[in-house]
Copies of this chain bind each other. A is one copy, B any other.
Amino acid sequence: MSALNVATRSIPSRRSPAQHDHTLGGSLQLMGASMTFGRNEEIYGEGEPAEYLYKVVSGAVRTSKLLSDGRRQIGAFHLPGNVFGLEAGSEHRFSAEAIADSVVLVVKRSAIEALAARDSEIARELWTLIAQHLERAHDHLMLLGRKNAQERLAAFLLEMAERNYVGNAVELPMSRQDMADYLGLTIETVSRTLTQLEAAHAIELPTSRRIVLRNRAALNALNA
């Protein structure tokens, strides 16, 4: 389902930003409509025209690609504050789905581009944004290339802690299957490896979605 279709039955709403707010964040709020997506609902599909830009307000989003035989690779997780859907070409190269019930700010790409053409500050922010995506992709590459399951989980947990930290605990919005598809592992290996890390006193698992980092040094060592 495309963003346009979804828009027909979502609840648009506007915030009240300061006038003449010449930042990307401010502009997005000024021009965007907020939409809600249910768990596992598609925000846009691979190959669809990339007419909109998105910013996560609450919840979480994954961008992923499906292979012909059902294997799935998750390219990135997007948490509150993150922008996604930014593309070079005219089409989305990944699909985007809500991981949990989410509120997302939606802005027309043409509007942002028009803004960037006139305001170099906005253009600079857009540059920073895509450069951040590239950095994330590079980090993700490092994670997938010849690292074992423990090293992948350690890197993942440290990344989530950095982006999503509340004290020493990480609140995971995604399922084990999502983690597996992000890390290039199976759900069983993810589960077993978490159990190993807990046995090694590197982490604690009060619930399956909450992970306490008990020994960051040990995790960092795995992340070498």
| Interface of A toward B, CB cutoff 8 Å | 65, 67-69, 71, 73, 75, 87-89, 93-94, 117, 120, 123, 127-128, 130-135, 137-138, 140-142, 144-146, 181, 184-185, 224
- Say yes or no: A138 contacts B93, CB within 8 Å: yes
Report B-chain residues with C-beta under 8 Å of the C-beta of A181.
145
- With contact pairs A88-B134, A128-B88, A224-B68 given, residues A184 and B93 touching in the complex (Cβ less than 8 Å): no
The closest CB in chain B to the CB of A129 belongs to B88
Contact call A88/B132, Cβ cutoff below 8 A: yes
Q: Out of B68, B73, B117, B146, which one reaches A141, CB within 8 Å? A: B73
A71 to chain B: closest CB distance in Å? Answer: 6
Q: How many copies does the complex hold?
A: 2
CB distance from A149 to the nearest CB of B (A): 12
Assess the A67–B224 pair: CB atoms within 8 A: yes
Task: Give chain B nearest CB distance to A64 CB in angstroms.
Answer: 10
B65–A142 contact, CB under 8 A? yes
Q: Choose among B71, B117, B120, B138 the residue that contacts A137 (Cβ–Cβ < 8 A).
A: B138
Give Cα A183 to B182, complex, Å: 17
B88 touches A141 (CB 8 A): no
* 8 interchain pairs, CB-CB under 8 A: A68-B224, A73-B145, A88-B135, A89-B131, A127-B127, A130-B130, A134-B137, A137-B138
